[in-house]
């Protein structure tokens, strides 16, 4: 069996190959590519039975048809989210599709807190100053988080891990989700409607999946509810935040800090070196001009622990496919063919 992986990062490849070592001993070959999968690159998958996709690959109807015509029979997404995959077309084409439903929630939760603390305490600005031997404190004043309110939007595994850290800081906890998490309730979290959470929270952190009903969850109306000095952190999916509305809010001098590990138009930008090119995405360029905004390149998950677990789960999904098994990671089963 021929397997090809797209969007493979240099630090990821050794972990991916180690996870697939058992399959490779059985005569399977793994090909790792740094390029992303889209309509232009789909022909490179010809002759490969399994495609290991990344979250920034495009697997729309056209790409999936090209893959199926080239002999692909399975898509194994190396991520939890799968909004980039046309599952209906995959089912029509008889393509098995699986994802990684869970990995270390601490990787994302801890990074969300790194963003929150960095924008609250002006860490990036301070680091830039001291590299130039400017040791003034003007403009670097932050505030204690103890006693303030953390609004956790989405209280699944990652949201719960974020809430535990907030509890350790001594923060009051507000939560919003379709169902209450007993673990969060045990921390003293109070569940509230979305408007109340955004209005009362000093820090709002997003931990919900990108679905039609959560697209632009943070829009102009929601942002207007937030305190002028609130912090906003998004380490989940870029499409949760209406970038235009966020830019207008920032232009108005509102929000003390914003930490974004994701961006709604990140495909084709994040994970790539654009340093020698003109940034044609005006909205992203404008975000970068605000000193109280910190943008990182979708790296919250990027720990050895989490990436190793993702690689192992992906190898397990391929092994299940070969054995005709389905499980919690299966999105489109072989029976759909």
> Could you tell me whether strands 96-98 and 330-332 are parallel, antiparallel, or unpaired per DSSP bridges?
antiparallel
Q: Among the options 12, 200, 264, 266, which is catalytic? A: 266
The answer to whether 200 is a known catalytic residue is no
The DSSP annotation for 72-110 comes to --EEEESSS--TTB-HHHHHHHT-EEE------HHHHHH
The answer to whether 298 is a known catalytic residue is yes
* Cβ atoms within 10 Å of 26's Cβ, excluding its own: 9
Residue carrying the six token digits 């003007």? 138
CA-based Rg of the chain, rounded to a whole angstrom?
21
Residues in contact with 10: Cβ distance below 8 Å, sequence separation at least 6, in sequence order = none
Backbone φ, ψ for residue 50 (5° rounding): -130, 135
| Element of type H or E holding 293 | strand 293-295
Q: Among the options 73, 122, 172, 298, which is catalytic? A: 298
Q: What percent of the chain is helix, strand and coil (3-state, nearest 5)? A: 40, 15, 45
Q: Among the options 78, 122, 172, 237, which is catalytic? A: 237
The answer to whether 196 is a known catalytic residue is no
Count of all residues that appear for the chain in the document: 337
Backbone φ, ψ for residue 323 (5° rounding): -90, 0
Distances (CA, A) of 170 to 119, 166, 184: 19, 7, 14
User: Which residues are catalytic, by number?
Assistant: 237, 266, 298
């Amino acid at each position: 069996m021929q397997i090809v992986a797209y969007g493979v990062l240099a630090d990821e490849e050794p972990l991916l190959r180690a996870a697939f070592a058992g399959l490779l001993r059985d005569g399977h070959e793994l090909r790792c590519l740094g390029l992303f999968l889209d309509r232009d690159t789909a022909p490179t998958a010809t002759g490969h039975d399994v495609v290991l996709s990344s979250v920034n690959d495009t697997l729309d109807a056209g790409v999936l048809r090209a893959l199926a015509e080239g002999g692909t029979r399975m898509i194994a997404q190396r991520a939890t989210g799968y909004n980039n995959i046309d599952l209906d077309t995959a089912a029509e084409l008889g393509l098995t599709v699986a994802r990684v439903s869970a990995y270390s929630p601490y990787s994302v939760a801890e990074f969300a807190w790194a963003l929150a603390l960095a924008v609250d305490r002006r860490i990036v600005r301070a680091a830039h100053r001291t590299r130039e031997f400017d040791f003034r404190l003007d403009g670097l004043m932050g505030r204690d988080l103890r006693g303030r309110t953390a609004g956790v939007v989405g209280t699944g595994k990652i949201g719960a891990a974020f809430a535990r850290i907030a509890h350790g800081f001594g923060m009051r906890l507000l939560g919003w989700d379709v169902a209450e998490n007993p673990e969060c309730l045990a921390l003293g979290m109070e569940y509230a409607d979305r408007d109340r959470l955004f209005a009362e929270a000093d820090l709002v952190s997003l931990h919900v999946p990108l679905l039609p009903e959560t697209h632009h969850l943070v829009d102009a109306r929601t942002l207007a509810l937030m305190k002028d000095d609130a912090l906003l952190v998004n380490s989940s999916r870029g499409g949760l935040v209406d970038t235009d509305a966020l830019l207008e809010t920032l232009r108005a001098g509102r929000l003390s800090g914003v930490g974004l590990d994701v961006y709604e138009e990140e495909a084709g930008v994040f994970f790539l070196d654009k340093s020698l090119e003109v940034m044609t995405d005006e909205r992203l360029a404008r975000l970068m001009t605000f000193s109280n905004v910190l943008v990182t390149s979708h790296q919250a998950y990027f720990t050895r622990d989490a990436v190793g677990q993702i690689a192992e789960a992906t190898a397990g999904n391929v092994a299940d496919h070969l054995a005709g098994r389905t499980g919690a990671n299966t999105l489109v089963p072989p029976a759909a063919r």
